[in-house]
Amino acid sequence: MIKISITENEENQRLDRFLKKYFKSASLSHLYKLIRKDIKINGKRSKAEAILKLGDELNIYITDEEAENLRKTKKLQHSKKQFHIAYEDAHILIAEKPFGLLVHGDRTEKKNTLANQVISYLIETGEYRPRLERTFAPSPVNRLDRNTTGLVIFGKDNRTLQTLNQMLREKECVKKYYLTIVCGELKNELHLMDKMIKDEIKNKVSVHKLEEGSDGRMIETIARPIQSANGYTLVEIELITGRTHQIRAHMQSAGYCVIGDEKYGNAKANRELKKRFGLSTQFLHAYKLYFAHAHEPISYLEGKMVTAPLTSYMESIKKNLFE
């Protein structure tokens, strides 16, 4: 029999999700079989959706050898640090993601990701010791596309990670701002509210008016012009909802395409900008986070603003277009 006492980095999660991380080599069907027949929480049978509490004791009625086989996982590979740190304390790290780096792995790249780089950094500093953690790993709470640069928030412990996820769901807690350059001279602030439908096969979204039927998810974007010249505008985007490709698709639907964007952009302008600057992907940078409201254990962040400057390459494009 295996005995597990739930720690602070393991509490407040579903039993099945805990087991999926604890027994990394087990299939889902095997895990649910264990829950039905071989697991008790504090001496009682429980369902997969049961929430684990601090100090709960799990008894798993399998042999040590079987448990070891189910826990086998690949050795963590070190990833060289490519990111800058915009802010860090005992609970969170806010990284400046460089161009071309995935936040999480996908079928094209599993090792060299921002998440793995942050974990490697925290191992080196001694703040994360994977040998002492059964299921927890520092993780990001927001995502950026591979070719979007800027700020990504990581929780260093489980309670902080859960709190950050809750704060982002509440929308008004963490305000997210981007810098972009769009085609066209935008003169006044735009407050856009529409709905978005995603084509999973093409990995592309379309924007529709709210009154056009019931399909799609609501999106909200605020665009504030900063500087206009020569047919382009530097814009600050406040992202109210955070959907896939939201800024790029929403600005296109409003008639102001993000420069360099091959999927939603202006083809003629993109050809000119590629010739002038070598720009071949979207000019989009997550440059500012403002913690309007914050909950424990990170309530001290309330009122804090974290910023990240444009990359030197983006700054050179901006100067050439507007100065």
Q: Say if residues 237 and 247 touch (Cβ distance below 8 Å).
A: yes
Q: In this structure, what CATH number is given to the domain that contains residue 19?
A: 3.10.290.10
- Shared domain check, 164 and 198: no
Q: Is the dihedral of CA 197, 97, 12, 64 positive or negative?
A: positive
Residues 6+ apart with CB under 8 A from 220: 191, 192, 193, 240, 241
What does the alpha-carbon distance between residue 232 and residue 181 come to, in Å, rounded to a whole number?
A: 7
Residues 259 and 308 in one domain: yes
Give per-residue pLDDT as tens, 153-176: 999 999 999 999 999 999 899 999
Residue 78 lies in a domain: no
Could you tell me if 159 and 182 lie in one domain?
no
| Position with higher pLDDT, 69 vs 308 | 308
97 closest CA partner among 315, 317, 316, 311: 311
Residues 213 and 277 in one domain: yes
As given in the structure block, the two tokens for residue 199 are 């084509």
Residue 219 has pLDDT above 90, yes or no: yes
Domain that holds residue 97: 84-168
Mean pLDDT of the chain: 92
Residue 222 lies in a domain: yes
Beta bridge pairs of residue 196: 207, 217
In a domain, 77, yes or no: no
Say yes or no: 308 and 193 in one domain. yes
Residue type, 52: L
Q: Is residue 39 part of a domain?
A: yes
Spatial distance between the Cα atoms of 38 and 60, rounded to a whole number of angstroms: 6
Q: pTM score, two decimals? A: 0.87
Q: On the CB side of 231, how many CA atoms lie within 13 Å of its CA?
A: 9
Give which of 99, 87, 103 is closest to 139, Cα–Cα.
103
- Of 117, 142, 168, which closes a domain? 168
Looking at residue 311, which CATH number applies to its domain?
3.30.2350.10
Same domain, 183 and 231: yes
| Number of domains the chain contains | 3
Tens of pLDDT, residue by residue over 40-75, are 999 999 999 999 999 999 999 999 888 888 887 656
Pair 192, 248 in one domain: yes
- Please check whether residues 292 and 245 belong to one and the same domain: yes
From 71, 106, 122, the end of a domain falls on 71
pLDDT at 1: 87
Confidence of residue 313 (pLDDT cuts 50, 70, 90): very high
What is the reported pLDDT for 154?
98
Q: Where on the phi/psi map is residue 171: left (φ > 0), alpha (ψ -120 to 50), or beta? A: left
The arithmetic mean of pLDDT across residues 6-15, rounded, is 92
Decide if 153 is inside a domain. yes
Answer whether residue 159 is part of any domain. yes
Secondary structure E strands in the chain: 2-5, 39-41, 57-60, 84-88, 92-97, 139-140, 149-155, 174-183, 190-199, 204-208, 217-229, 232-239, 284-291, 305-307
SS (H, E, C) 216-264: CEEEEEEEEEEEEECCEEEEEEEECCCCCCHHHHHHHHCCCCECCCCCC
Contact (Cβ atoms closer than 8 angstroms) between residue 205 and residue 267: no
Examine the domain organization and report whether 164 and 133 are in the same domain: yes
